[in-house]
Chains A and B, each alone.
Chain A
């Protein structure tokens, strides 16, 4: 059942929130052993919360648009009194003394949080193999990675543990796992969803967004959590856009461009796109054209440099954001004779290799004598990408590309080659650098039978038309995604 219909059933009194939550907790109990989507399942709190929702309904009140709907949270969103680990040993056991804004919004919308999902440590990774608590497996094929870093949130939805989850996307961390797990994943416009209470990876790129098994459910969740938050200076000063209301408007007359450089179809673009992925992209473009969109090739030349800029900017910001994990105020401490050594011993023991790698990379890029060569230049590349997109959006309403170059890859395949792993994000990174929305919609399967995702990109605040196109693609692909009922 979709989140939209579950919420409807609870609000009308047709179903109890408790029965819905119990059903999903049972699915978790059943399948979690094979998938490891969660770092923590908050069953008791969820049931208690469900009862409160039911009590509101019983008293004739409206518990909100997400009444009784289970939602799983990526484990980098602060939940008061509930452990929040970021997939890291350094925060193992830490209970934040405050709630993230999205948690408060979910609560206000009547949602029921059922647990915290596994992730690459501090959201650094594309496979969820970098979690201190072990990898998450892809529900479509448990020998494969679910993608990352929000792999737990993607897998939880794909496995039917929850109809909805939230992830965070810094360079593709929602869209790529959504593609690899065959679910819908949305990275909203930068500033659309408050980052207050999201443990930062790269502040100028991070965005929280929804996972769902269909486009309407993703819209429902995004509407509930988006909108201005005075606690986040980079929050867009406007209320959440109406998405559910425009979903059925189709794409008649919309101009859609397929980005040559990041789809393996242009002479100057990137290589390495699997032929089956390219075929699904072509079929998706045809589907949009069949629905009345004007589909053409588009060029956004500087997107090929996105990866380079990203792997300087994101680590640079991360190196600073992660300095506070020093053993002084919260989380792990490894004792030593003095504070300098205590800081170092704590960080050395608490951070995994990928986190260390990126902290060092970012520290280097910002250090005396290298700032201009790396950080400064990357920010200029960012400007070029913004300008190139602006040019493209003069001719197009939406852009299209694959979400990831390949379908889900085998566990362990890329762990020893960071650069190879980073290349997973070539299609998703440009939207983060530009601050634009983009979403992945499941569109058929590859030669290996694994899901393929198509990425719809839009200019800032272009979520309504982006969702319209996603709905058309979803219909063309044959409806709801995921492996579960």
Chain B
């Protein structure tokens, strides 16, 4: 049950890869964290390489464990006239819990660029 003793695959995750995904994930890493994480992620991915032994040609992927489809809700607002007061309370709680808000809106530092 020990992890495979590092049969290093060509695609072994590099320090640059880790720096790239950290940026994508909006995480700042120090140099030493970068080193540490690179080794640990490589260990996990090396272990995952055991599935290379499987013949997966023609196998369909499973993304849902349940064979459900067509689950819908009716196009009816949750908040009816009777729930108006509770809804206001909800909106107030939401804004009160915000790190920063102004004029009923969430305040953020400059966003620099358009949405992608």
Contact = CB atoms under 8 A, between A and B. Distances in A.
A337 interface: yes
A422 B99 CA distance: 35
B72 to A, nearest CB: 9
Contact of A328 (B40, B54, B61, B108): B108
A337 B17 contact: no
A359 B59 contact: no
B68 A234 contact: yes
A326 B99 contact: no
A340 B64 contact: no
Interface string B87-111: 0001001100111100000101111
B27 A348 contact: yes
Interface string A306-321: 0111011000000100
Range class of the B interface residue count: 35 or more
Interface string A425-457: 010000001110000000000000000000000
Interface in B42-71: 43-45, 47-51, 54, 56, 59-66, 68, 71
A241 interface: no
Contact of B108 (A311, A342, A373, A423): A342
A272 B1 CA distance: 5
Contacts of A347: 25-27
Contact of B44 (A311, A373, A405): A311
Interface stretch (A92-100, A125-133, A215-223, A245-253): A92-100
B65 A305 contact: no
Contacts of A373: 11
B50 A337 contact: no
A297 interface: no
A370 B18 CA distance: 13
A237 B17 CA distance: 43
A381 B99 contact: no
Contacts of B93: 81, 95, 97
A368 to B, nearest CB: 10
Range class of the A interface residue count: 35 or more
B36 to A, nearest CB: 8
Contacts of A377: 51, 56
B109 A383 contact: no
Contact of B90 (A97, A304, A341): A97
Contacts of B18: 360, 364
B59 to A, nearest CB: 4
Contacts of B44: 311, 361, 418-419, 422
A438 B80 CA distance: 41
A363 interface: yes
Given A377-B56, A380-B61, A236 B66 contact: yes
Interface string A412-428: 00000011101100100
B66 A360 contact: no
B51 A308 contact: yes
Contacts of A205: 65
Interface string B1-38: 11100000001010001101110111111000000010
B109 A344 contact: no
A171 to B, nearest CB: 13
B98 A330 contact: yes
Interface string A373-394: 1101111111110100000000
